[in-house]
């Protein structure tokens, strides 16, 4: 049988390279010979292998720049991922990321045709917003350190387990989390079913304290409606099935459940209180001799519980050298946000060692049921309200490409440049009077640039 002969020949070559006799043992059967040869070629441990790989480190490093236009958020990030490969397919992964954030971010207040003065989140000073300009807080400045570690190992022949920890620290925010997962292979390892969970506990510690929901922004130095620090707990569960469809096609389907509870508001976001006829923000007079807001603003308030369900599916398809990677995600939650994401990449090889990978991603979401562009002075105060544009109704598009190559010494280098834009609108029923003539929803245009370098030791 030609196939069996060639397999025996492959086994013979492998044995020769290891300095063993050409054929130590006569294979007991063709199928065993095939499996042994395949596993030896792939370096897997599905069958007993004759030599274990030496422990080795793999490093991936990356430099990221994310920059929004109009002097909004700029992020420079450095990431390092180290993987130690042990014998028996055990893997230790360590990750470290440092983010440096600067720039301005929309605070949720509506634009107005006069100057607006707003108290900074710390309560220590104020800033002015020019007429007909979207109010941005320009004190957005933070450095974030994130660390994670995970351990993965086979548990018997068909199971694989992993455990991990994560920790991150910002000036006013601390996260710590644990996660674990288990997977089992079926059908000659063509089907893998996995189950995972993650728990995280976050501490929110803004300067000046967290503001009480839907209470007014006060004069400088008046922290009477501020509380102390707050916490947030998140429980994530994930159930996934990965299936090999054919020699060239692999599909994954994941269902995930996420339950967040605790302080889910953004302590820096506010809403304008407006005249029910003109739609203009109502003026306010600060205490004489003290700086304070020139108009009426309330701190936002979100529910203290959120349950999200996601269905994610991804396919990888190999087409004579090119690889198509396409994914789709549907998410729904009990804040009435529904979102759809489609992501597609196509990797084209260029010569033997380089490639180009165009990427496009489309995202759309509906607004949260408590999203309000402004609050009308004539109406009773709702139980929850937020003007955070990220909880609004918008579409987003990412388009770009990555170019990468392998160096002569086997190192991987790549550059990625992408453009990200958001375009949304306020539900028409929420716009009042003069608001109809103003740009009430902040769009977003950003550049994403990545340089990455990977090598092994």
Partner 1 sequence: MSNKKLYSMKLIFCVPALLAISACSSLGVEPWERDVLAKDEMQLVTDPIEAATDDHIYFSKEASSGGRGFGGGGCGCN
Looking only at residues 388 through 447 of this chain, which bind partner 1 when binding is defined by CB under 8 A? 390-391, 396, 402, 414, 416, 420, 422, 444
* CA dist., res. 125 & res. 121, Å (int): 9
- Cα 159 to chain centroid, rounded: 28
Non-local CB neighbours of 423 within 8 Å, separated by 6+ positions: 394, 395, 396, 443
- Considering the complex, what minimum distance in angstroms separates the CB of residue 4 from partner 1? 11
The residue within the footprint of partner 1, chosen from 200, 281, 294, 374 (CB under 8 A), is 200
CA distance linking residue 62 with residue 110, whole number of Å: 38
Interaction residues for partner 1, span 83-142 (CB under 8 A): 95, 97, 101, 142
Closer of 275 and 449 to partner 1 (Cβ) = 449
CB of 264 to partner 1, least distance (A): 10
Query: Cβ of residue 295: shortest distance to partner 1, in angstroms?
Result: 26
Instruction: Find, among 274, 298, 295, 373, the residue nearest to 116 by Cα.
Output: 295
Residue 89 CA from chain centroid, whole number? 28
One residue of 52, 100, 143, 191 binding partner 1 per CB under 8 A:
191
For residue 236, state whether it binds partner 1 (rule: CB under 8 A).
yes
CA angle 180/182/187 to nearest 5° reads 160
Q: What is the DSSP letter of 216?
A: B
Task: Out of 104, 108, 139, 172, point to the residue binding partner 1 (CB under 8 A).
Answer: 172
Nearest to 409, CA basis, from 443, 454, 368, 361: 454
Site for partner 1 in 150-169 (CB under 8 A): 166, 168
Tokens of 346: 């196509």
- Token pair of 357 as six digits: 């990978």
- Residues in contact with partner 1, shown as a per-residue x/- string from 268 to 307 under the rule CB under 8 A: ----------------------------------------
Q: Which of 74, 117, 225, 314 binds partner 1 (CB under 8 A)?
A: 314
Is the CB of 12 or the CB of 448 nearer to partner 1? 448
Q: According to CB under 8 A, which one of 52, 125, 248, 353 is a site residue for partner 1?
A: 248
Nearest to 196 by CA among 149, 255, 147, 260: 255
Q: In angstroms, rounded to a whole number, what is the distance separating the alpha carbons of residues 86 and 341?
A: 37
159 vs 377, which CB is nearer to partner 1? 159
Q: Smallest distance, Å, CB 232 to partner 1?
A: 7
Taking residues 347 to 386 in sequence order and writing x for each that binds partner 1 by CB under 8 A, - otherwise, the string is: x---------------x-x--x------------------
Give the three-state DSSP class for 373: coil
Query: In whole angstroms, how close is the CB of 354 to partner 1 at the nearest point?
Result: 13
- 160 or 252: CB nearest partner 1: 252
Rg (the chain; Cα; Å) = 28
Stretch of residues binding partner 1 (CB under 8 A), selected from 20-28, 131-139, 246-254, 284-292: 246-254
Measured from the CB atom, the residue of 104 and 204 that comes closer to partner 1 is 204
DSSP string, 269-328: -EEEEE-TTT-PBPB--PPTTS---SB-EEE-B--SEEEEEEEEEEEEEEETTEEEEEEE
447: left (phi over 0), alpha (psi -120 to 50) or beta: beta
| Token pair for 107 | 């605070």
Helix, coil or strand: residue 171: coil
Whether 208 contacts 223, CB under 8 Å: yes
The minimum distance between CB 225 and partner 1, in angstroms, equals 21
Q: Does 241 bind partner 1 (CB under 8 A)?
A: yes
Total count of residues recorded for the chain: 457
Q: How far is the CB of 17 from partner 1 (least distance, A)?
A: 19
Span from 107-115, 198-206, 283-291, 428-436 in contact with partner 1 (CB under 8 A): 198-206
31-90: which residues touch partner 1 (CB under 8 A)?
A: 34-35, 37-39, 41-42, 46, 60-62, 64, 66, 77, 79, 81
Q: How far apart are CA 17 and CA 2, in angstroms?
A: 23
- What is the per-residue binding string for partner 1 in 206-235, x denoting contact by CB under 8 A? --------------------------x-x-
Candidate residues 1, 247, 352, 428; the one interacting with partner 1 per rule CB under 8 A = 247
Q: How many chain residues bind partner 1 (CB under 8 A)?
A: 99
CA 79 – CA 56 distance, rounded (Å):
20
């Amino acid at each position: 049988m030609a196939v069996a002969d060639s397999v025996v020949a492959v086994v013979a070559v492998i044995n020769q390279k290891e300095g063993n006799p050409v054929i130590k043992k006569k294979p007991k059967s063709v199928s065993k010979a095939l499996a042994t040869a395949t596993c030896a070629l792939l370096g897997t441990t599905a069958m007993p292998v004759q030599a274990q790989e030496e422990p080795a480190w793999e490093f991936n490093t990356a430099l990221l720049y994310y920059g929004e236009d109009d002097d909004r958020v700029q992020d420079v990030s450095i990431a390092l991922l180290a993987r130690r490969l042990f014998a028996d397919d055990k893997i230790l992964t360590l990750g470290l990321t440092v983010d440096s954030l600067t720039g301005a971010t929309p605070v949720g207040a509506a634009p107005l045709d006069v100057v607006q003065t707003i108290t900074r989140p710390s309560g220590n000073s104020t800033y002015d917003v020019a007429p007909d300009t979207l109010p941005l807080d320009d004190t957005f400045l933070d450095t974030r350190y994130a660390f994670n570690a995970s351990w993965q190992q086979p548990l018997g022949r068909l199971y694989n387990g992993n455990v991990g920890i994560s920790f991150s620290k910002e000036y006013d925010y601390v996260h710590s989390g644990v996660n674990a997962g288990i997977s089992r292979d079926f059908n000659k390892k063509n089907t893998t079913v996995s189950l995972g969970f993650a728990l995280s506990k976050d501490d929110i510690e803004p300067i000046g304290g967290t503001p009480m929901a839907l209470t007014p922004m006060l004069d400088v130095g008046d922290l009477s409606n501020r509380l102390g620090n707050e916490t947030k707990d998140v429980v994530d569960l994930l159930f996934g099935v990965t299936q090999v469809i054919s020699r060239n096609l692999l599909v994954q389907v994941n269902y995930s459940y996420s339950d967040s509870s605790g302080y889910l508001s953004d302590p820096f976001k506010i809403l304008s209180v407006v005249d029910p006829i003109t739609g203009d923000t109502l003026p306010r007079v600060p205490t004489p001799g003290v700086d304070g807001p020139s108009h009426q603003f309330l701190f936002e308030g979100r529910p203290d519980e959120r349950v999200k369900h996601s269905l994610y599916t991804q396919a990888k398809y190999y087409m004579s050298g090119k690889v198509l990677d396409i994914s789709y995600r549907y998410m729904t939650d009990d804040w009435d946000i529904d979102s759809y994401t489609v992501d597609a990449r196509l990797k084209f090889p260029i010569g033997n060692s380089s490639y180009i990978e165009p990427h496009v991603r489309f995202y759309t979401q509906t607004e949260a049921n408590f999203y309000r562009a402004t609050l009308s002075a004539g109406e009773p105060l709702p139980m929850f309200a937020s003007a955070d544009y990220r909880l609004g109704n918008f579409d987003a598009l990412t388009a770009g490409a990555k170019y990468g190559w392998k160096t002569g010494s086997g190192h991987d280098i790549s550059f990625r440049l992408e453009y990200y834009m958001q375009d949304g609108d306020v539900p028409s029923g929420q716009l009042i009077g003069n608001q109809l003539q103003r740009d009430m929803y902040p769009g977003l245009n950003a550049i994403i640039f990545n340089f990455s370098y990977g090598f092994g030791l």
